[in-house]
Structure 1
Amino acid sequence: MLNSINTNPGALIALQNLNATNTELATTQGRINTGKKVATAKDNGAIWSIAKMQSANSASLNSVKDSLQRGQSTIDVALAAGDTITDLLTKMKEKALAASDTSLNTASFNALKSDFDSLREQIKKAAENAKFNGVSLSDGSTTKLAFLSNSDGDNFTVNAQTLALAGIGLSDADTLTDATQAKTMITTVATALQSATNKLASLGTASTGLDMHLTFVGKLQDSLDTGVGNMVDADLAKESAKLQSLQTKQQLGVQALSIANQAPQSIMSLFRG
């Protein structure tokens, strides 16, 4: 080996190795600090780009879930109104049946008529007030509502089911006038009750479908997040072990550089008498 005070090949090699170790150490420390093996495009451009796109898709599903949850609430309110309306119709049928009894006196008949009319008005109020965030599936103000179903902006459509009087075959004019008409009203109310239950069944089916889709969206989001994690997350146990190894290697590199820098001093012995 050349004995020179101008060039020290051993020190240069030791310095190169030490720099390489320091670079690896910085990378490992960065992974431990961020928890990611691909934190920026500089780490791995292709993987970083894919991960960013998938993360964006996952984040956009939060809006989809919010929309579907609003749909759930809107349907739940309509179902609650529907349950109330079917109960009221059942009571109206009872009143009509009681009023069809020809042995009733006028006072008793009028009391039944008053109850019947009151129940009819309550149906109107239940249908009108069944709104969530100002939107209703039961008051006849809309034919359908569309909620987000995916990150591309496609929709999950729910058909409205009008539970107001007109929607179930009744009107404001329906009342009890005499026993004969009351008997006819029994059939009218029974038909309205059947219509209401059919509409509630449709809303229930839509609610079940929406619930299942919301569950799917949640699972899809979890899968996307897991996939992104597999691509960019660091194995901290592995990185921790590597950190200790590199720290030891760094200390040895510093020692090797120190030894290499002392080599030119051996030339001084040539000048001693």
Structure 2
Amino acid sequence: MPSEITLSAATRQNLLSLQDTASLLATTQSRLSTQKKVNSALDNPVNFFAAQAMTARSSDLLSLLDGISNGIQTIQAANQGITRIQGLVDSAKSTAQQALAIQNSSSGAGATGAVVAAANGKSLLGSGTAAAADGTHDFSANASVFSVTDAFGNSASVTLDRAKLTPNVKDITKVTSDEIVAQANQQLTAQGRIATASLTNDGRLTFTSTSTGTDAKLTVTGTSGTIDIGFGTGAFAAVTASGIDSTDGSAKANATGIAVSTLSGGTFDLTAGDASITVQLGSGLTKTINLNKAADATLGVSTLKASDIAAAINKQLNSDTGISGKVVAVADNGAGTVSLRSTASGGDQKLTVTSAATSTKDIGFGTAGDVSKARSGTGAGSTGANSTGQRSALAQQFNDLLDQISMVAQDARFQGVNLLHRSGADSKENTLHLTFNEKDTSFLDIKGVKFDFIGLGISKITGNFATNDEVKTALSQLTNAASTLRSQASTFGSSLTVVQNRQALTKGIINVLDVGANNLTIADLNEETANQKALELRNSLAISALSLANQAQQGILQLLR
């Protein structure tokens, strides 16, 4: 029969007390080790599951934070790329401007007034009317009127008087040289801009034709006036200047009719019949020149020379705003030929002259239906070794810079995402998608661009900058590209601000969630430490009490023996 241990009530109570104390001490030690007062749902179900949800969301947002950070770096990489591309565009623009500065065309004609006494380097003082000591002129009661005529019969009148100047000057009694030049240019522009006005370094008023070449003749003639601005007063003598041919080998488009015997040293009869021709410059509209007495009474004679026919052609050319000043007829009475040529030079100039459908008389271009005598001419680009070589080298440099633009765009990527380059036209190919919450209901799509030189709208140079038009086209494309780059940089900047704000918000929300979860579960270390000390003391006392109780029982047993 097994023996049984019988415990007294005091001993049993002490043992139960020790058991409770040990359990509480274990709980306290657990809280101290984890620094949490809620470690499981058994501790506090409400707080435990609430804290768990907060911690889970905080973890989700933390994983999104890495993607947001990468997105910021991707935008920064694109911004760096745009900055470098802008520098290359500026360099390409500088290259094109250098090419434009290398003269590959003819020089214009100029007409300059006689040297006059000057109070300072920017005054226009003549001998006809005394000027103020400060170099200004009094136009309150004076005037200067003159005309400017080019070699093609185009003319413009410039009137400097009280009526014209008052709305445009500060003081009509003290009109400055700059104000005179501005008013002259305003009137010249309004009348077709056959010339421009400017000041020389020594203060002379100068007129320069807008045409080029030896046929770019310019004449300034006085009609009336009481004030001298450098060309005299009253009906002053005409001042004439002619342009010079290009020395770089470039040439105008020229179409010369076959020599007609009746024009060579003799006369041509247009009292009956029609010698009309058609003229086309480049791919523009065709202009019909009616050469008959019905269209021009001066042609209704039997003693016409080649120069008379050329004059009639020029009259009709100049009356057409689309071709005026661009084509001119030139006659050679001795050879009996009439030539038409473009006023501009270069390889992009093409001129075609054919007989008109009504033509019955041949002046060197055939009659109606006779295509064998149709004539066309194409201008020549510069053949001068220096200018051609320089422009060609600059064109190659320009194209190399365009290749560099494409390379920079391809290399401006981060973590495999490139906002500046894609192979196709679909923006989805390089759109950056950034997610801001765990359900992807809050996001930002940053659309990428195609910023190689083709995407920027810049074309490579194929004509070696042979013509100014090609250079100007390149400059226009570069200007548009620079504007596009600035606009896109602003767009990326706005997107970067949004992403940085969302990054800061996400970090803030993560902190709020972590603090909230901790508030629900964290233990007060001071309190738990005090509890531990109290429980350890309680445990020690319980052990002592149990020991005393056992000793009392042993004493009773000894007495019974």
TM-score by length of 2: 0.45
Match of 1:258 among 528, 539, 547: 547
Give the Cα–Cα distance (whole angstroms) in 1 for the partners of residues 444 and 462 of structure 2.
Answer: 37
- Aligned match of 2:514 in 216, 225, 230? 225
Residue 167 in 1 paired to residue 455 in 2? Answer: yes
2: CA distance, partners of 1:70 / 1:264: 77
Residue 88 of structure 1: how far off its partner (Å): 0.8
> CA RMSD for the aligned pairs?
2.4
Which has the bigger relative contact order, CA under 8 A and spacing at least 6?
Answer: 1
Distance 1:167 1:236 in 2: 65
Aligned pairs for 1:134-145 within 5 A? 134-141=416-423, 142-143=427-428, 144-145=431-432
> Which has the larger displacement, 127-136 or 250-259?
127-136
Amino acid at match of 1:132: F
- The match for 2:196 is none
**CA deviation string 1:2-23 (max 9, x = no partner):** xxx9563323333332222211
Within the candidate set 129, 150, 156, 2:444 is matched to 156
Work out which of the residue numbers 425, 429, 434 in structure 2 matches 1:147. Answer: 434
Q: CA deviation at 1:148?
A: 2.0
Q: Does 1:195 align with 2:477?
A: no
Cα distance change, pair 28–174 in 1 and its aligned pair in 2 (3 A): farther
Deviation per CA, 1:50-93: give whole Å up to 9, x if none: 22222111112232012112212221221111111111111111
Aligned pairs (5 A) from 1:66-77:
66-77=66-77
Q: 2:11 maps to which residue?
A: 11
For 1:60, the equivalent position in structure 2 comes to: 60
Cα distance in 2 for partners of 1:174, 1:147 equals 43
CA distance in structure 1 between the partners assigned to 2:474 and 2:390 by the alignment: 17
Is the CA contact (8 Å cut-off) linking 1:99 and 1:182 kept in structure 2?
Answer: yes
> Does the 8 Å CA contact 1:18/1:254 hold for their aligned counterparts?
yes
8 A contact 2:388–2:466 mirrored in 1: no
Instruction: Report the CA distance shift for 1:223/1:235 in structure 2 as closer, same or farther (over 3 A).
Output: same
Corresponding letter in the other structure for 1:81: G
The letter for the 2-side match of 1:181 is E
Give, in whole Å, the separation in 2 of the partners of 1:174 and 1:148: 46
Q: Which ranges of 4 or more aligned residues in structure 1 deviate by more than 3 Å?
A: 140-143, 171-177, 260-272
Q: What do the CA deviations read for 1:179-232 (whole angstroms, capped 9, x no partner)?
A: 232123222211110011101111121112112211221222122122222222
Secondary structure of the structure 2 residue equivalent to 1:43: coil
Q: 2: CA distance between counterparts of 1:9 and 1:49? A: 43
- Counterpart residue number, 2:398: 116
Separation in 2 of the partners of 1:246 and 1:209?
56
Q: TM-score, normalised by structure 1?
A: 0.88
The offset of 1:178, in angstroms, is 2.0
Corresponding letter in the other structure for 2:438: S
Asked whether 1:130 is paired with 2:437, we answer no
Structure 2 counterpart of 1:237: 526
In 2, distance between residues paired with 1:172 and 1:132? Answer: 29
Assess if the C-alpha contact under 8 Å between 2:399 and 2:461 holds in 1. no
For 1:69 and 1:270, the matched residues in 2 are separated by 85
CA distance in 2 between partners of 1:81 and 1:46 (Å): 53
| Matching residue of 2:149 | none
Contact (CA 8 Å) 1:35, 1:234: kept in 2 or not? Answer: yes
Output the amino acid matched with 1:165: F
1:215 to 504, 521, 532: 504
Count of residues in Structure 1 that have an aligned counterpart in Structure 2: 268
Contact preservation (8 Å) 1:58, 1:225: yes
Structure 1 distance, partners of 2:41, 2:558, is 54
Moved more, 253-262 or 263-272: 263-272
CA distance in 2, matches of 1:187, 1:266: 117
CA distance in 2, matches of 1:180, 1:173: 12
- Determine the structure 2 residue equivalent to 1:38: 38
Taking a change above 3 Å as real, the CA distance of residues 174 and 129 of structure 1, as seen in their structure-2 partners, is farther
How many angstroms does 1:267 deviate by? 5.0
Report if aligned partners of 2:51, 2:517 keep a CA contact under 8 Å in 1: yes
| 2:455 aligned counterpart, secondary structure | helix
Query: Residue 127 and residue 269 in structure 1: after superposition, are their counterparts in 2 closer, same or farther (change >3 A)?
Result: closer
- Look up the SS of the partner of 2:432 in the other structure: strand
Offset of 1:259 from its aligned partner?
Answer: 2.8
Aligned CA distance change for structure 1 residues 6 and 121 (closer, same or farther; 3 Å)? closer
Higher strand share: 2
